[in-house]
Structure 1
Amino acid sequence: MERENIRKEALNGNINAFQALFAEFQSQLKSYLYRLVTDRNDVDDLTHDTFIRAFDKITTFNEASSLKTWVFKIATNLAYDHLRQLKRWPVDAQDQGAALAIGNKEVSGSFRVVHQTFNAAAYDMKEHIDFCFTCISKTLPIENQVALILKDIYDFSLKEIMLILDKSEGVIKHLLKDSRDTMTSIFDHRCALVNKNGVCDQCSQLNGIFNPKQNQQEARMKLELVKQSKKFNREELYELRTQLVKAIDPLRSSGADLQDIIMRCTRTAVGDVDDFFAAPASKANV
Structure 2
Amino acid sequence: MLEIPSTISTANVGKTMPEWNEQEHVNRARNGDMDACDALVRHYQERIYATIYHMTSNHEDAADIAQDTFIKAFRKIQYFKGDSAFFTWLYRIAVNNTINFLRSKRRRVILSINQMDEEWDSGEEVLGLVSKDTPQSTVDRHELQKFLNGAMQKLSPNHRLVVTLHDVQGVPHEQIGEIMDCNTNTVRTRLHYARKQLQAHLSDYLKQ
TM-score if structure 1 supplies the norm length?
A: 0.47
**What pairs with 1:109-188 in structure 2 (closer than 5 Å)?**
132=146, 134-188=149-203
Higher relative contact order (CA 8 A, sep 6+): 1
**What pairs with 1:204-219 in structure 2 (closer than 5 Å)?**
none
TM-score if structure 2 supplies the norm length?
A: 0.63
- 2:86 maps to 1:50: no
Q: 1:52 to 1:24 in 2, by over 3 A?
A: same
Post-superposition shift, 1:88? Answer: 8.2
Work out the CA distance in 2 between the residues paired with 1:185 and 1:11. 48
Work out the CA distance in 2 between the residues paired with 1:177 and 1:54. 32
**Structure 2 residue aligned with 1:26:** 45
Work out the CA distance in 2 between the residues paired with 1:23 and 1:130. 37
Contact between 2:53 and 2:59, CA under 8 Å: does it hold in 1?
yes
Work out the CA distance in 2 between the residues paired with 1:63 and 1:48. 22
**Structure 2 residue aligned with 1:66:** 85
Post-superposition shift, 1:175? Answer: 1.0
**Structure 1 residue aligned with 2:132:** none
Q: 1:53 to 1:88 in 2, by over 3 A?
A: closer
Post-superposition shift, 1:144? Answer: 0.5
**Structure 1 residue aligned with 2:33:** 14
Work out the CA distance in 2 between the residues paired with 1:77 and 1:43. 13
Per-residue CA distance 1:124-168 (angstroms, 9 max, x = gap):
99x969965555423211000111111222222223222222223
User: Which runs of 5 or more residues in structure 1 are unaligned?
Assistant: 90-123, 191-196, 200-286
**What is the count of residue pairs matched by the alignment?**
158
Work out the CA distance in 1 between the residues paired with 2:70 and 2:168. 22
Q: 1:188 to 1:28 in 2, by over 3 A?
A: farther
Q: 1:19 to 1:47 in 2, by over 3 A?
A: same
Per-residue CA distance 1:96-125 (angstroms, 9 max, x = gap):
xxxxxxxxxxxxxxxxxxxxxxxxxxxx99
**Structure 1 residue aligned with 2:118:** none
Taking every aligned residue pair, what percent have the same amino acid on both sides? 24
